[in-house]
Each structure stands twice: as structure tokens, then as C-alpha cells.
Amino acid sequence: MSASTEEVGIAIIGAGPAGCATAIALARHGIGDVMLFEAGTGDAPRIGETIPGAAMPLLSRLGLTDRFTARGHLPSLGSTAVWGKAEPHHNDGFANPFGGGWHLDRAGFDADLRAQALAAGVPLHAGRLRMMSAKGSGHRLRFEGANGPFEVTAGLVVDASGVRAAALRSLKVARNPVDAIAFHWSLLALAEPEALPARTFLEAVPEGWWYASRIPGGRVVVGFATDPDAGARFADAAAFRAALAETRLIGTQIARGRPLDAEAPPRIAIAPTAILSAVAGPGWLAVGDAAACLDPLLSQGLTRALEDGIAAADAIAGAQAGGAGAFNAYQDRVFARFTAGVRLRAAFYASEARWPDAPFWRRRQVQAAA
């Protein structure tokens, strides 16, 4: 994109699942003059790889069923959890009307969404949004691109930039935090992947909870969720593996797949539970994590991102057709879903009462009671 100011009807900031879903859904409404702007290259490893069967109707609405099927995501057999009691309990996929869901090739999933948005006619520009300000009835956007800064003016901006809500932060829309966890995670290659069932494994321990999920490519994602102020938990890959070996369920399960040594220390992702004080306003909307994000314990983030993209496009189409309350209806929906998610999350944490005095659990029991 050139240094001169370009004009676009709708600028979508961020080409993750929420941004791409918005772009595709807008195209399916026949709404043109839309551009996606993306800061990343898409090759950094991403966490967030389990989606429920209930996501399938959303993928179908976005015309993604064929790409999804061709990608070879792993069908999930369900989940096994040590939570609330020492004995594991099982939740099998066949008992769910939509099936057990999938363990994704997350990079492939994101790439397919981008390819579908491009195929729908929405161009993707490389650039990191640095600043957004009101300009007339629209907005001026300043980006940093590979060849330097550039500017765009847009009639409508959709913030799909993830937890940092890059666009709306510029507009000083407040974010209401409920909680945050630090997720220490690693990708381990398995010598015998088929020996590890394609289930989600969850295990509560006094300092937090462990999670594991086999993914395509003969690997397993394993992570430990704890308080962000619990300090640097794992100095290196060996310390992480040693802690994993002390678990009751997860370590034993992963050992079945004969994990190869990870060379890198675990990565850390901070996962907030938070919502913006407004997710729609004059000339803007927020979708996906930019609007609201919930504890990864619920494994709902990708489904919410797809839902928001579709609902935001419906709201934009409704507003263009003269529906005065379309943006408010979108906001009401996002707020109601967040409230339901916070309640569900509180119920999950309340159902683990074995360590009432451990700081991690005490904090979340207090939130559940509030």
C-alpha cells in the first residue's frame, strides 16, 4: 500500500479467525469495499486448538466445510478430566449431538480462513495499526508496514486484533478485567502419536490446572495454567517435563505417545477474562477476543470469534438496510454471552474444592461467590 492516504468503506483490523469470519460473512451479504489489515506473518506458533462440534454450523455458514474437511484436523473423542475429585471422569464425543469436536492444525485453520476471505474478494494488507482517530463520520487509521508508515481512512472499522484491541484502545474504550491466567505451554513431538488418544485431558492440581491435547502432525500441546504472579514456573524444558511427570493423569497419558525432548523452554500466554465497556459505537465494532475474551478452560474462543464475525456482518448489513438498532443488538448479544460464560467459568472453578486454601483456587472461589 502506498504512502498516500487510501479510502475504504470497511477496514477490518486483524486477520485472525474473527477478522476473517467478518470479511467472509460481509462478502456473503454482498457488501464490498472491505479490506483486512494484518500485523503478523501467520507463521508464529499459536495456542488454541480445540473446537467443539457446535462450531461446524458456523464453518458451514462461512462456506468453509470443504477446506476444513480437507485439512485433516483430528476428530476429538471427547475429554477426560481429573477435576473436583481424584478419579478421572470422561465426557465422550458420541454423547454430544455435534460430536466431540476437533483438535486443530491451528496454523492450517487460520490459513484456510484467510484463503477463504481472499477467495471471497477481500484483499489482505500487511500492516500493524498504530493509531486510530475519528475523522468526519469515519476514522483515520495509521499503520506501520514493511515499507514504512501508511494511512487509510475508513467509514467503518471492525477491531479484530485480539486481546489487545489495538483499534479501540486508541479510542480509549475501557476494558473491564475479571481475571487472567498465565498459560505455560509447549509443543512436544511424539514417537508414537497413535498411542495417545485424541481426547482433551484436563487435570487440576493445587497450583492451577494442566491441559493436553494431541494435534495433527504427531504432536501434543501441553500446558499449565496458573496465576500470572506465581513467578517464573519453569526455567527450561527439563523443569517443565519434570513437573509434567508429577501429574497423575496428563503425564501418564502423554508418556503413552513417547514424547521426544522439547528443546525450547515453554512459552507463556497470558489469557485474560475481560470485556470492553462497549463493543459497538459510531462507525466501529469489535469482534472476537478484541470484544471479549474468556478463560481458555472453556475452549470457546474460536467459536466465539466465528460467531462474532457472522453476527457483526449481520449487524452491518442490518444497519446499511436502515435498521437503527442493529449495532445495539450486536452489543447486547456479546454482553449476554460474556455474562453466561463468566457464570459457567465460575461454576467450573467452584466444582474443584479440594484445595480451598491454595491461592489459585481461593482467588477463583472468591470470584465465583462475588
Ligand X SMILES: Cc1cc2nc3c(=O)[nH]c(=O)nc-3n(C[C@H](O)[C@H](O)[C@H](O)COP(=O)(O)OP(=O)(O)OC[C@H]3O[C@@H](n4cnc5c(N)ncnc54)[C@H](O)[C@@H]3O)c2cc1C
Rounded least distance, CB 286 to ligand X, Å: 9
* Residue type at 278 in one-letter notation: A
* Closer by beta carbon to ligand X, 116 or else 161: 161
Instruction: At 148, give phi and psi (nearest 5°).
Output: 110, -175
d(CA 53, CA 159): 27
What distances in angstroms separate CA 70 from CA 61, 65, 74, 76, 278, one per listed residue? 17, 9, 11, 16, 38
* Closer by beta carbon to ligand X, 3 or else 191: 3
Rounded least distance, CB 305 to ligand X, Å: 4
32-35's contacts with Cβ under 8 Å and 24+ in sequence apart are 32/121, 33/8, 33/9, 34/8, 34/9, 34/10, 34/122, 35/8, 35/10, 35/11, 35/122, 35/123, 35/124, 35/125, 35/152
Decide if 310 contacts 62 (C-beta within 8 A): yes
* Closer by beta carbon to ligand X, 307 or else 314: 307
Binding residues for ligand X, per CB under 6 A?
Answer: 13-19, 37-40, 47-51, 128-129, 160-162, 164, 166, 183, 269, 271, 288-290, 293, 296, 299-303, 305
Decide if 178 contacts 224 (C-beta within 8 A): no
Instruction: Name the β-bridge partners of 273.
Output: 179
Rounded least distance, CB 339 to ligand X, Å: 17
Rounded least distance, CB 321 to ligand X, Å: 26
Rounded least distance, CB 166 to ligand X, Å: 3
* Closer by beta carbon to ligand X, 211 or else 321: 211
* Closer by beta carbon to ligand X, 5 or else 323: 5
* Closer by beta carbon to ligand X, 18 or else 249: 18
Please tell me whether residue 16 adopts helix, strand or coil conformation.
Answer: coil
Rounded least distance, CB 161 to ligand X, Å: 4
